[in-house]
Structure 1
Amino acid sequence: MIEALTVISAFLGIASMIGGLLGILFTVTVAFSRIRVVEAKIAAPGAYLDMTKILWGDGPWGRWIRAMNVWAFFTYRNLPVIGSKVALRMGTEDKATPRNLKLWALIPVSFTFVCAMIFALSAIFLVIVE
């Protein structure tokens, strides 16, 4: 039974690693044109998102960092106590961003994070079992 779980965990880890890498590639290539539009709507001059754009640039690593920051803006601003403070430091959303643009920023990065969590859990399981 343990051997079957070990094999399943190993295959799950490999699949999640491949899925996470594909998620990153999708984010920095296909989805980034729409993420850039969202970033332009929420990056106030002098705010963290605006500085991130200047600091990291438009290379692959910079695109991934910028996509994660846009994801963080939409995710962290919903936290009960500190959400509004975090969102204010990162940028402002003057008008409501259309849902389809938000989803272009949220889904690929969330998928990559979920794949990373599955990979980490399968690795922890493999270490504990072995």
Structure 2
Amino acid sequence: MNDTLQITAAFIGVGALGLGLVSLCIMLTLAFSRVSKIEERISRPGTSALEHRKIWGNDPLGRLMRSGYVFTFLVLRSVPSSRLNRSAAKIGDVSTQLPLRMTLWAVVPPLLLYGCFAVLLIVGLLL
């Protein structure tokens, strides 16, 4: 591989790393208040949303896990599959209507973080 391609891949990797860290910081600070509100709205007796709130707590690792859990719920309930909707129903109430802005705060930062991680993996394979 020539030097120009390696340098370009290295810059893309550094950019993905920086953007992923910014996304992680946003997920743990700004977006978490919306994630917490979503947890309150989707939780009902017999679902695991409230249990995870008690288990993981409010420290940075707990916030990351709870954000990932709400992200998983929102993705599973939006896929047109009865099996995945049943899985989402174990997490929370799938019939709950959520505002679009609140949903975007819970979906975009994790998607950005996971996308940056995928870019980092690909760049690591190229270097």
- How high is the TM-score relative to the length of structure 1? 0.89
Aligned partners of 1:41 and 1:60: how far apart in 2?
A: 22
* Matching of residues 1-130 of structure 1 within 5 Å: 2-77=2-77, 78=79, 80-126=81-127
Given residue 108 of structure 2, which amino acid in structure 1 is its aligned partner? I
Aligned partners of 1:50 and 1:119: how far apart in 2?
A: 34
In angstroms, what is the RMSD of aligned CA positions? 1.5
Superimposed CA distance per residue, residues 5-41 of structure 1 (whole angstroms, 9 cap, x where no aligned partner):
1111111111111111111111111111111111111
Structure 1: which 5+ runs fail to align?
Answer: none
Shift of 1:100: 1.0
Aligned partners of 1:65 and 1:86: how far apart in 2?
A: 18
Shift of 1:85: 1.6
Distance 1:65-1:79 versus aligned 2 partners, 3 A rule: farther
Deviating 4+ runs (over 4 angstroms): none
Aligned partners of 2:5 and 2:14: how far apart in 1?
A: 14
Aligned partners of 2:46 and 2:8: how far apart in 1?
A: 48
Q: Contact between 1:41 and 1:93, CA under 8 Å: does it hold in 2?
A: no
Structure 2: which 5+ runs fail to align?
Answer: none
Q: Contact between 1:20 and 1:111, CA under 8 Å: does it hold in 2?
A: yes
Shift of 1:104: 0.8
- How high is the TM-score relative to the length of structure 2? 0.91
Aligned partners of 1:91 and 1:119: how far apart in 2?
A: 33
Aligned partners of 2:27 and 2:45: how far apart in 1?
A: 24
Tell me the secondary structure at the aligned position of residue 111 of structure 1: helix
**% identical aligned pairs:** 27
Aligned partners of 1:59 and 1:51: how far apart in 2?
A: 16
Given residue 29 of structure 1, which amino acid in structure 2 is its aligned partner? T
